[in-house]
Homo-oligomer: A and B are copies of this chain.
Amino acid sequence: MLNYRHLYYFWMVSKEGGFAPAPQRLVMAIQTNRAQVRELEKTLGYQVLKPAGRSVALTDAGKAAFARADEIFQIGQNLAEEVRAVASKRVIRLSVGLSDGISKLAAHSVLALVLDTPDLKLLCHEGEFEQLQSELALHRLDIVLAGQSAPPNPNLRLNSERLVSSPVDWYGPEKLVKKSDVGTFPQSLEHLPVLLPTGHSVLRSSLDRWFLERGVKPHIVGEFEDSALMSVFAARGLGVFPVSRLGTDDLGLMPGLRMLGQCEDLHEEIYAIQNRRGQQHPLVQQILAKRTDLGTTHPSA
């Protein structure tokens, strides 16, 4: 087990250039300093310093150790100051986990509810659904937004609440979407080029089921991890794509899109997962309170 005090003394010796100046700067006895560096060498299993004239020099191992030690203590030197800066600032931090399968457009709509909070510092962290759950349990995240509710795991005390259940609409570039296509929706999806989210997402599973129920075999020309990216490609003429009505607002920047159809019986859902007990983050409470403001929220269970 590496002892950081030993490493620190070694670092000082290397930086100051010997066992004479370093202990003086550290206001300590020279023998102590030397003994501690000896300890470091014992734990590393290699000499880090070697005699050089009447001073000492770094060995190759020592050079490597010094390079790393330098990184470490560079960070360490600033740590206290940074903590002080963070603690004294009046910022409100909100750590949000975004599950991999979630639509970024929709996630933005949810977070927009609190985005006008003054002095807000938003920390977004994407990751696998399972990983985010454990980070939440360890109080490293305040809330997780996901396309699915958390399974009732008695070890992780988590509460899921459905924030929104937003019907899905289809859009496509104007030059692609004809009037007849709108009339024959959703059958028109069989000859129109279709873009879909990849299989990772919950929405994709719902879509596949939806296609199956209606006997529609869409002509898939592209699959995207990222819903925002998909909308860009669609607007450039690649094909038509589904988007939850909640995410539609964010599409305002994307001109030249025409609605192809609506499916009220298919919903993209977003769940807010949080710790069951423990005082909740004020902004999380605010999101839950304002959730009906998400205009497209589906009222039913």
Give residues in A with beta carbon < 8 Å to B.
2-5, 7-8, 14, 17-18, 43-46, 48, 52-53, 55-61, 63-65, 68-69, 71-72, 75-76, 78-80, 82-84, 86-87, 91, 93, 95, 134, 137-140, 275, 277-279
Contact = CB atoms under 8 A, between A and B. Distances in A.
B4 A278 contact: no
Contacts of A80: 2, 43-44
A87 B60 contact: yes
Contact of A83 (B65, B138, B140): B65
A122 to B, nearest CB: 13
Contacts of A65: 79, 83
Contacts of A95: 63
A72 B75 contact: yes
Contact of A72 (B59, B76, B137): B76
A123 to B, nearest CB: 8
Contacts of A44: 80, 83-84
A17 B137 contact: yes
Complex A-B, nearest 10 residue pairs according to Cβ-Cβ distance, in ascending order: A4-B4, A57-B139, A17-B138, A61-B87, A64-B86, A53-B278, A52-B278, A46-B87, A68-B79, A53-B277
Contacts of A75: 68, 71-72
B82 A60 contact: no
21 contacts: A2-B79, A4-B5, A4-B8, A5-B5, A7-B76, A14-B138, A17-B139, A43-B80, A44-B80, A45-B84, A46-B83, A46-B84, A46-B87, A52-B139, A55-B139, A61-B87, A63-B95, A64-B82, A64-B86, A64-B87, A68-B79
A10 to B, nearest CB: 11
B137 A60 contact: no
Contacts of A2: 76, 79-80
Contacts of A279: 52
A79 B69 contact: yes
A104 B30 CA distance: 42
Contacts of A64: 82-83, 86-87
Contact of A61 (B63, B86, B278): B86
Contacts of A78: 68
A229 B93 CA distance: 47
A7 B4 CA distance: 10
